[in-house]
Structure 1
Amino acid sequence: MNATLLHSLLLTTLAMTFVLLARRPLRQLFGARPAFMLWLLPPLLAVLPWLPALPVQWATLPTMPVFAGNIDGATAALHHTSRMAWLESAWLAGATVCLLRLFVQLVRLHRQSHHLPAAMLSALLQELQTLDSSRLRLHPAGPALLPSAPRTLLLLPADFLQRFSATERQLILRHELTHLRRGDALWNLLAELAAAALWFHPLIWFALPRFRLDQELACDEHLLCHAPQDEADYAHVLMHSAGHPAAPTLIPWLSEPQLKERLTMIQRHRPGALRRRIGYLGLAALMAGSTLVAQASTKPAPDQSAESDLTFNSNLQPSYPAAALKNHEEGTVILLVQVHMDGTVGSITYDPQHSTTKSADLIAAASNAARQWRFNPQTKNGVAVEGYARVPVKFALSPLPAKPQNSQGEKSNSKS
């Protein structure tokens, strides 16, 4: 498996573990809104290994020649990668199933929603003039938010006016509008997409409902900080609301497992503005420091280098592309290859400044072969470290001329 992918998964796992352990004490210390910032840490660290990081110096390796007659190199490379192909297929199948489930859920929710009756719409706009009528839809799962293009929809049940009093309707609608201003529907959708990509990771399914809970707590805190006089009414409407089961892409007004935590947050003394600001600054510094530490672990030292495993790589030479042969393209492709501590290949970059060809076919052939190569990593103080190498791959339409025979060989031939 690609070492960059493993590094990314490791950082994501560590970040999710830290968030799950720290979210509750940080919420009590600084409030629900700063604590919700912690959920930015897993995606932030997940992308770090994929960011390019060029070293100060590159070790230039011997040129690998590729002649027009070399058309079988792809077969060896395919045989080398077939051992891990089933893992990629399994991941792709699982991710496809999760994404299809998400898509079907979105389509089903949209088909079940309808425009509000004129009388209901008029009554709601009289009570809360800031409502956007184009967002309002009827749906039995409401009150809830549903991601949609070009704007998120606010779902309301058909009996919304009868089920809740005017005060309760005001609080519920203000809660949903707070979600809209915070962009929570988009964050919720991104979390679902991340879960689809990491479907095999058990921690993601443990973290997802806690992410939704922290999102609701942050929204509740934001609303009550601006209207602390509504705490009693807010708690009352929560206790007398019908909960809905959590559904992908949907942010319901109340999900049953969240009720106890949300009522506890309302009753507890919330941190003041100063502590919240300190929390924001502290968490921002924590994430910045974690990012720097994680990024430093992906960058090689200036004196690192790597050596090619010539015995192994000679069996995985690039094949000469048929299109390049047809167009009579040749030249040297310079690849800048990242070499991991286990000798596997990380990122591969084409060096246009030192290459003698810009043929996309030759560059692709060299890059595809290089992804299968192995290297002997540089060691520092007896420990393998990550390094980089500049690998020239020369494509020639005809073989190099034969070496001239030495004088002894010429004499023996003349005698014969």
Structure 2
Amino acid sequence: MTSLLQVLLLASVWGAIAVLLIALARPLLKRLGGAGMVYRSWWLLPLALLAPLLPVPVPAVIEAAPVRAFGEALNAPLLPAEAPLWPALLVAVWLAGALGMAVLQMRAQRRFERAMGSLSPRPDGSWQASADPGLPALIGVLAPRIVVGPDFDHRFSAAERDLVLQHERSHRAHGDHWANLAVAGLRCVFWFHPLVPWATRRFLCDQELACDARTVDPHPALRRLYASTLLKAQLVHPVAPMACHWRSQPMLKERIAMLKQNKRKALPWVAGQVLVVGLCVGLCTMAWASQAGDAGTVDAQVIDTTAPKYPVAAFEQGVSGKVDLRVEVGADGRVTDVRVLSATPAGVFDDAAVTSARAWTFKPALRDGKPVASALKIPVTFEMNDEAPAP
């Protein structure tokens, strides 16, 4: 429970930093590379959320207290017997919020799809709905379809219809429907985050601006026609959370203003690319390194290291020795593997030391409060005394 809350908290912090960086860099990226550059900068958000989950290098083998063949077992305090109740309550609240957000988005999507009425195929590969809840749009994820309204042929000319369909096909070709699905998932996971609503709106706006640029940039002469086509379509209906809409009245002014921009030069475009990559690499490195600090790390501690039995043959010959073991300790505190690093004399005490070490128990190492696997280097000494070992 606690580990899940820590992951959510860490992801929320780095997600907020990523959103703020995108907001700050957006004007500069827009000047350097246009709407497409701004849209690509949103890769920073999922990368920043995933970077803290990547594994960190396993620390070097920890030197542990030596074990003597006839010494006493070392002991350490056991884990607390009772866990606090509040982490479970917080996880329950988070799950309820996530499920609630998922239900709301699914209902909005189904309401939109039902409002379209019946669909019939068109010769151009799109589908025509019997009603218009906010079309044209790219609907669906696994099998996305371009759906147009019942008055599509009457409202738009042939050239305008071709631009609208190119726009929606560009959404499908660039996987924008999958991006919208990912955004819907993030809204469920981080329903409590105050920046998520703004980030969602801004992402969808940048997605439309980038698609406009991809559609118009190859044909600069069609900018005026494209702008007039946008003016013909004013979205007054609610939108579906997982659909790419052609009409978007709240950002109509911004979309038309973008069409007035000239084609970007190569050098500023390259500078924008370098800036986007630098932001992604720099922030993700910081997010990944944030989990690797030593501040929240506690080494594994010994609970029981029963002394190994002294080999009878070695005792009879009066042989003493030492074996250095590498003991792998799992997150549950149990020994997962034992290897001999060195032995003096070689081959005499190895089996006795390894057999005994497999039965040892430990309190697992902690990183940020979570039990993790670790490795310890434990020297085992075999010393002579006056008592013969038990057979």
Q: Same fold by TM (over 0.5)?
A: yes
185, 195, 206: which is aligned to 2:177? 185
What residue number does 2:87 align with? 84
Give the Cα separation in 2 of the matches to 1:31 and 1:181. 20
Taking a change above 3 Å as real, the CA distance of residues 64 and 224 of structure 1, as seen in their structure-2 partners, is: farther
Q: Secondary structure at the match of 1:235?
A: helix
Aligned partners of 1:64 and 1:80: how far apart in 2? 26
Aligned to 1:101: 104
Deviation string, structure 1 residues 297-328 (Cα, Å, up to 9, x no partner):
33347x99734689xx99xxxxxxxxxxxxxx
Provide closer, same or farther for how the CA distance between residues 82 and 387 of structure 1 changes in structure 2, counting only shifts above 3 A: closer
The 1:305/1:28 distance shift into structure 2, 3 A limit, reads: closer
- Bigger drift between 230-239 and 282-291 goes to 282-291
What SS does the corresponding residue of 1:251 show, helix, strand or coil? strand
CA contact (8 A) 2:140 2:243 kept: yes
User: How far apart are residue 88 of structure 1 and its match?
Assistant: 0.8
TM-score by length of 1: 0.66
Structure 1 counterpart of 2:321: none
Counterpart of 1:403 in structure 2 is: none
Q: Provide the secondary structure at the position in 2 that maps to 1:353.
A: strand
Structure 2 SS opposite 1:80: coil
Which residue of 2 is the match for residue 284 of structure 1? 277
Deviations 1:270-296 (A, max 9, x none): 423443344223312331232223323
Q: How does 1:7-406 map to 2 (within 5 A)?
A: 7-59=10-62, 79-113=82-116, 116-117=119-120, 121-122=122-123, 125=124, 132-133=125-126, 139-140=131-132, 141-149=134-142, 151-244=143-236, 245-300=238-293, 306-307=298-299, 335-336=329-330, 352-354=336-338, 390=374
Q: Letter of the aligned partner of 1:282 in structure 2?
A: L
By how many angstroms is 1:218 displaced?
0.7
Give distance in 2, aligned partners of 1:42 and 1:349.
36
- Partners of 2:28 and 2:148 lie apart in 1 by 35
Number of aligned pairs?
323
Indicate if the aligned counterparts of 2:296 and 2:367 stay in contact, CA closer than 8 A. no
Greater Cα shift, 50-59 or 171-180: 50-59
Once the 2 structures are TM-superposed, how far is the Cα of residue 91 of structure 1 from its aligned partner? Answer: 0.7
Shift of the 351–97 alpha-carbon distance from structure 1 to 2, 3 Å rule, reads: farther
Shift, 1:193, TM fit:
1.0
Q: What is the Cα deviation at residue 60 of structure 1?
A: 6.5
Shift of 1:171: 1.1
Spell out, residue by residue over 1:159-204, the C-alpha distance to the aligned partner (whole angstroms, 9 max, x if none): 1111111121111111111111111111011111101110000101
Change (3 A) 1:116 1:9: closer
Cα deviations across residues 232-260 of structure 1 (Å, max 9, x unaligned)? 01111111212144431122111111101
Percent identity for Structure 1 against Structure 2: 28
What runs of 5+ residues in structure 2 fail to find an aligned partner? Answer: 66-72, 305-326, 340-353, 356-360, 377-391
Using a 3 Å threshold, how does the CA distance of structure 1 residues 375 and 266 change in structure 2: closer, same or farther? closer
Q: CA deviation at 1:111?
A: 3.9
Aligned mates of 2:368, 2:233 — CA distance in 1: 64
Query: How far does residue 4 in structure 1 lie from its aligned partner after superposition?
Result: 4.0
Distance in 1 of aligned mates of 2:372 and 2:366 = 12
Deviation per CA, 1:5-64: give whole Å up to 9, x if none. 432221111111111222133112221111111111121111122111133414367899
AA partner of residue 161 (structure 2): R
Counterparts of 2:34 and 2:368 in 1: how far apart (Å)? 50
- Which has the larger displacement, 53-62 or 202-211? 53-62
Q: Which has the larger radius of gyration?
A: 2
Structure 2 vs 1, CA of residues 84 and 305 (structure 1 numbering), >3 Å: closer, same or farther? closer
Tell me: CA distance 1:111–1:20, structure 2 relative to 1, closer, same or farther (3 Å). Answer: same
Instruction: List runs of 5+ in structure 1 lacking aligned partners.
Output: 126-131, 315-332, 338-347, 358-365, 378-385, 393-416
Checking the alignment, whether the CA contact within 8 Å between 2:291 and 2:368 is kept in structure 1 is: no
Q: What is the DSSP-based 3-state SS (H/G/I as helix, E as strand, rest coil) of the residue aligned with 1:299?
A: coil
Whichever residue aligns with residue 17 of structure 1, its letter is L
Give the RMSD, CA atoms, in angstroms: 4.0
